[in-house]
């Protein structure tokens, strides 16, 4: 009598396929982008619309080469940015009715940093 190993081979192939799929398709890609949502308000805590917000990395080499973006605040005083690398950025805010503002912002990998700046 011949022994048939077909069921064992099928089971072995099924286990191999399951392990292969489990290790290749269940790994999650970690979001490494850095996000910033900034709000600009005046001294009365009212949103400042149409403020120009510039984020610049002075520590990059050369300065500003990798991480520099400019945006404009919306009606709620908000502006959002996405960067690929964590960094400490200089924040420059200008608006025709307010004094220029300068501050700093620390970006963290995979996180959204929310910060409010008050302009005079």
Domains and CATH numbers, the chain: 34-118 (2.60.40.1120)
* Structural Rg of the chain based on CA atoms: 26
The DSSP element (H or E) to which 101 belongs, if any, is strand 98-106
The number of beta carbons lying within 10 Å of the beta carbon of residue 103 is 13
Res 26: pLDDT: 46
* Under 8 Å between Cβ of 104 and 90: yes
pLDDT bracket for residue 37 (50, 70, 90): very high
Highest mean pLDDT (candidates 54-58, 63-67, 84-88, 114-118)? 114-118
Task: Tell me the pTM.
Answer: 0.72
């Amino acid at each position: 009598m011949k022994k048939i190993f077909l069921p064992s081979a099928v089971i072995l192939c099924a286990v191999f396929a399951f392990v292969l799929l489990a290790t290749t398709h269940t790994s999650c890609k970690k979001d490494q982008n850095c996000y910033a949502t900034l709000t600009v308000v005046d001294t009365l805590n009212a949103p400042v619309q149409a403020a120009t917000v510039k984020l610049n990395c002075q520590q990059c080499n050369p300065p500003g080469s990798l991480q520099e973006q400019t945006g404009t605040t919306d009606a709620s005083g908000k502006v959002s940015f996405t960067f690929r690398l964590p960094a400490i950025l200089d924040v420059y805010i200008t608006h025709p009715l307010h004094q220029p503002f300068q501050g700093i912002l620390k970006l963290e990998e995979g996180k959204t940093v929310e910060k409010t700046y008050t302009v005079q």
